[in-house]
Amino acid sequence: MYEYYLKRRLLLAAVVLLGCTSGMSVADEKAAKVSDERVNDQLAEVDQDLKELSVPPLDHVVYPESRPEWISNPVQERDNVATFVVVSGPCETRDESVQELKLMRSAALSTFIDNVVGTFGSAGFYQVSDKRFDEELTQRRYSGEVMVGGTTQYEDAVEIQITESERDSMLEAWKNTEVTQRLAVLGVVTVGGFLALMTSSTMFGVAIRRRERKLRSPSESAGQPV
């Protein structure tokens, strides 16, 4: 009998121990599962961050290694020779880049002329054609590609050089313009003075004739028979 109860107690203990062990295994599995899910979430966040970092910002610009250094040169003036760089773009197409460069170099030259003659907004008197820009004023040029926000765009650049003789031509043209403007003003004043003189003479003549008529009327009345 004793052996029977002993075996029964051992069996119950084994069952209880097995149940505890099973409960701990289930709990451990749940904890491990939760931990794995958290790790997976963290890994997903890291992957997302890496993907976002792999896409450059829209304003991120990457220039090629072949881009010449002279493009970054500031305005220089030495021995009455001025040199400045004009850069276009970045533009979506090559044609847009070239057209923008033409506009920008004309604007840069106008600003230079204003500084030479000492006025603002009067550079229209000195025009330079595209042919002269390309053949006489341009020292160096560059056409290349640039990466902007991960997309390929285009830029163009020229180095403009204004010699002393070119500067003298600008000043001479400005002097001629000033003379023309003064003559035009003098012509307006002269014509205005002539018109004023004619108007005054006409009015003076009208006044004299009226006075003569008034003086003549009493005399004529006195000479008539009663």
Strand 61-62 with 138-148, pairing: antiparallel
Token pair for 211? 């006075």
Closest of 185, 173, 189 to residue 119, by C-alpha = 173
pLDDT at 123: 78
Q: How many CB atoms lie within 10 A of CB 213?
A: 9
Average of per-residue pLDDT across 114-124: 86
The token pair that represents 28 in the structure block: 């451990």
Give pLDDT, residue 179: 84
pLDDT of residue 65: 94
* Residue 146: predicted pLDDT: 96
Which of left, alpha, beta for 121 (phi over 0: left; psi -120 to 50: alpha)?
Answer: left
Confidence of residue 207 (pLDDT cuts 50, 70, 90): low
Confidence at 194, pLDDT banded by 50, 70, 90 = low
CA distance 67 to 80: 28
Considering only residues 60 and 181, tell me which one the structure prediction assigns the higher pLDDT.
60
Q: Pairing state of beta strands 76-78 and 151-162?
A: unpaired
**CB-CB neighbours of 125 under 10 Å:** 15
For residues 197 and 200, give the distance between their C-alpha atoms in angstroms, rounded to a whole number.
5
In this prediction, residue 30 has a pLDDT band, given cuts at 50, 70 and 90, of low
Average pLDDT for 165-174 = 94
Q: What is the pTM of this model?
A: 0.58
Measured at the CA of 174, the angle between CA 98 and CA 159, to 5 degrees, comes to 30
Residue 43 has pLDDT above 60, yes or no: no
153 and 92 in contact (C-beta within 8 Å)? yes
pLDDT in tens, 76-102: 999 989 999 999 989 999 999 999 999
Q: Is the peptide bond before 90 cis (omega within 30 degrees of 0)?
A: yes
- Which string of DSSP letters, residue by residue, matches the chain? -HHHHHHHHHHHHHHHHHHHHHHHHHHHHHHHHHHHHHHHHHHHHHHHHHHHHHS--TT-EE--TTS-GGGG---EEETTEEEEEEE---BSSHHHHHHHHHHHHHHHHHHHHHHHHT-SS-GGGS---HHHIIIIIEEEEEEEEEEETTEEEEEEEEEEEE-HHHHHHHHHHHHHHHHHHHHHHHHHHHHHHHHHHHHHHHHHHHHHHHHHHHHHHHHHHHHS--
* Percentage of residues in the chain having pLDDT higher than 70: 56
